Amino acid sequence: MKALLIILDGAGIAEEEHGNAITPRSMPYFFGLMREHGHAVLSSSGPAVGLDEGAVGNSEVGHLTIGAGQTVPSVLTRIGAAFVDGQWEQHPLWGEITRHGRLHLVGLLSDAGVHGHWSTMLQAAALAARHGVDDIILHPLLDGVDSVQGSAPALLERLAGEMEKVPGARFGVIQGRRAFTDRSGNLEITRSFVRALAGGDGLPEFLWQTLDAHYPQPEADFPAHLSMGGWHWRRAKRF
C-alpha cells in the first residue's frame, strides 16, 4: 500500500461563506475524494499545534509541527510559560544585567505571534524592574508583515500604557522591521539600524502624523527611523 502526503498551504475546512476559496464548488474532485475515501479534520491553531489558546496557526507552526508526530510548543509559548513559572526570572544572566543598570530591549510590535509578540518586550521589562534595573529602554519594531495593516498606533498606545506600570521603562527608537530583518544582503540597511540604536543618526522626534501618513502607501516600507528621545508620552497621546 502506498500513501501520499499532500500539503495544501493555506487550505482548511470551514463553513462555505464569502472569502472561503476551499469549497465543494471550487474543488469538486478534492471533496469527492474525501467523501469516497473518508477523512479526518485536524486542528491547526491554538494548543493543538503548540500555540496559546486562541492563537491562529501560521507557516512557522507548520515548519515545526508537520511530521513531528507530537505537539511542539512554539517559542512564544515557551517564553510565556517561562515567565509565568519563574524560570525566566531565575536566569543567572539577570545578575550581570543588574550590575550594568541599563537594559535595551528590541522586539517586534506585533499581536500576530508569528515572529514575535509585543508582550515579550513587556515581560522582559517587568523582570528587569524586579531585578532592580533602573533604566529600561524599549525599541519596538513596527510589524507591517504579520500584523493587520494599520494596527501599529493602537499597539503603541497599548504598550505605552502597560509600560507606565513598569518603573524605569521608556521608549528609545521606533522603526519598521525591515532594517532589523533585512535579507537582501544590503549591509547599509542593517548599518542604519545599528546607527539608530547607537544614537548616531540625529533621529527626529516621533510624530503621529508621520506614522499616519505612511498607511495610504502600503507598498512602501516604514520611513526613516523615528526617535522618541525625551518625548513625553502623556503629552503627545492622541486619545
147-164 per-position pLDDT tens digit: 777 788 888 889 999 999
146 vs 101, residue with greater confidence: 101
Spatial CA neighbour of 77 closest among 40, 111, 114, 50: 50
pLDDT band at 19 (very low <50, low <70, confident <90, very high): confident
Q: Are 127 and 85 in contact (CB under 8 A)?
A: no
pLDDT of residue 149: 75
Contacts of 163 (CB under 8 A, 6+ apart): 122, 125, 138, 169, 170, 171
Please say if 59 is a catalytic residue.
yes
d(CA 83, CA 28): 48
pLDDT of 169 strictly over 50: yes
pLDDT band at 16 (very low <50, low <70, confident <90, very high): confident
8-12, 140-144, 158-162, 228-232: which is most confident: 158-162
d(CA 217, CA 213): 8
Q: Give the 3-state secondary structure of residue 104.
A: strand
- Tell me the pLDDT tens digit for each residue of 31-81: 999 999 998 888 888 898 888 888 888 777 888 888 888 888 988 889 999
d(CA 117, CA 204): 26
Neighbour tally for 227: CB within 10 Å: 21
What's the CATH superfamily of 76-236? Answer: BPG-independent phosphoglycerate mutase, domain B (3.40.1450.10)
Average pLDDT over residues 188-205: 76
pLDDT of residue 2: 85
pLDDT of 215 strictly over 70: no
Cell of 198: 547607537
State the average pLDDT for the chain: 81
pLDDT of residue 216: 56
| β-strands 169-171, 135-142 pairing | parallel
Quickly tell me which residue has 505571534 as its cell. Answer: 113
pLDDT of residue 66: 82
What H or E segment, with its residue span, contains residue 30?
helix 28-37
**How do the domains of the chain map onto residue ranges?**
18-73, 76-236
CA distances, 97 to each of 78, 85, 173 (Å): 22, 21, 20
pLDDT band at 138 (very low <50, low <70, confident <90, very high): very high
Contacts of 194 (CB under 8 A, 6+ apart): none
Question: Could you say which of 43, 44, 59, 192 is catalytic?
Answer: 59
pLDDT of residue 198: 80
